[in-house]
Amino acid sequence: MIRSFSLHEPSKETTQTIESILTPNSTMKLLPTHCINASGELEGFQLTVPGDEKGGIIPINRNMFHGTSLFEVVSEHGASFNTDIMRLQQTGSTKPMMADLMRRINAAAYNNEATFRCVPDNVDVVSSMNTEGSVVEAKVSRTSGKRNVDFADWKPEQPHTIGLYQAFCRGYQKDTRMHKLFIGINGGLNKCSDEFYNLILDVGNEFTCKEIAFSEEAWWLRKACSRTRSRLALLTAEHFGLEIPTTKDLFSFNQQMIGVPLVDTVEFDVKDGPDDTVEFFSACVDTTGVQNGILCKMHESEGIWIFRGNPRSSAKTTSFGSMFGSKNTCGVFPTRSPLYKPNHGSPSYVNGFDSELIIRHKSHPRTKHDGYVFQCFDERFFANLKDMQWDRNCGVTELVPIVVGVA
C-alpha cells in the first residue's frame, strides 16, 4: 500500500477495510481524501490488481461510473459577460424553477430507468428458414446500421446534484477574464449501477478482472452515465431558457439531442491498466488521461472546483489544461470533498451547511450539525497536491453556485 500522499493516518475502520480489499498481488494508493464515507464505504483510493485474478476482488460499489460533467452556456455574440447570469439573478424565480425541474425529472424517470435490458443487441439472428426441396435457405436478420444503439429507450434519473454556476475564467493564451455561466451535473444511472454492483457481487468470481473491465456491461454503463448527464444538461438549459452546445446522441434509441460537456470527470471507474493489470478508481481520476481539467465536487453550498492541468497549445479561453503526472510517481487525483464522520477521515473539515441557494428534492437540509462533515481543502492539502505532481501555478477555477438542486 502506498501512503505517500494520504496526508492523514487511516482510522481503525479504514485499516480493517483496506486489509479486506488488498490481496498479495494488488497495490493501493491512498489519496488525501481517503475516509469511510457517510454510506460506510472506503472512499478516496486507487487499486491496481492483476488482470487474470478473479473479478470478485474488485471493490465495485453502487455508484460505478458516476461522475461530474460541466457544460458552458453560450454567451451572446461571444461577449466577455454572460447576460443570462444577471437575468437569472434578477428574476428571483430560479429556486422554484429548479424545484420544478427536479420534480419533472423524477416523474419522467419513474418506471423508465435505464437497466441492462437497454444494452445494444448486436447479434445477427436467423429470422426464418426455407426448406423447399433439398436446398435449405436461411434468412438472417442483421443489425447493420444499428450497432451499439440502445435496445430500448430510457429516461435520465435524478442526479445527486444539478446546478447553475458562474465563474471568472482566464485562458492560457489570452490574458482576459470572462464571466461565464455553466451547468454542472453530478450523478449517473442509479438503477443500472446498482444492477452492475449486484452482478459482480453474484458472479464476479466467474470472470477475471480484465474480463469485467472489458465487459459490454461496463462499457455501456460508463458511456450511458456520461450520456445521462448530457441529457440532463440539455433539459436544464431548455428549462431555464439557456443555450449550450448540442449534438445528436448516436447511441440513443431515438437519436435525440444531448449537451456537449466542456469537462467530464468519472469518479468511480474500472479500466485497463499497464502491464496486464486492471485499475479501480474510487472518488479519484487518472491524471495521465485528463483532457480539459479535473472537476472536484465540493459541498453543495461551495460549488465545484476545476483543478487546471498543464497548458495546451490549442488552449482557448475556457480550456482548463490537459494531462499531468506519471503513474510511476502518483498519477491519480481526488474528485470530491468527501462526507464522513469526524473520526473516519481527515481531521481538517467544515460542516458544510446548506445556503439559501440549495434546493433539496427529498433529502433533509443540512441546517444543523448531523454528525457528518466535509473535508476542508486547506493549505496543507494544497501542499500535498504538489507532491502528487499537480502544478499549483496552473491554478483552480471556483464555480460559484447560483442555484443547486440536490436529490
Q: What is the pLDDT of residues 69-86, one digit of tens each?
A: 999 999 876 667 888 888
Cell of 171: 485562458
For 295-318, what is the mean pLDDT? Answer: 85
Mean model confidence pLDDT for the chain: 91
Closest CA to 160 of 361, 367, 376: 361
Least confidently predicted of 75-89, 199-213, 243-257, 333-347: 75-89
Cα angle: 11, vertex 55, 61; to 5 degrees: 50
- Look at residues 169, 167, 105 and name the one whose alpha carbon lies nearest to residue 359: 105
Residue 14: what pLDDT? Answer: 96
Q: Residue 240 above 80 pLDDT?
A: yes
**For 162-196, how does the pLDDT look when each residue is reduced to its tens digit (9 = 90+)?**
999 999 887 666 667 888 999 999 999 999 999 99
- Is the Cβ–Cβ distance between 246 and 260 less than 8 Å? yes
Residue 316 has pLDDT above 60, yes or no: no
Identify which has the larger pLDDT, 322 or 26.
26
Query: Residue 314: pLDDT above 80?
Result: no
Q: Is the dihedral of CA 117, 120, 123, 128 positive or negative?
A: positive
- Say whether pLDDT at 197 is over 60: yes
**Per-residue cell: 260:** 456537449
Given a contact cutoff of 8 angstroms between Cβ atoms, the answer to whether 7 and 381 are in contact is yes
Kindly tell me if the per-residue pLDDT of 315 is higher than 70.
Answer: no
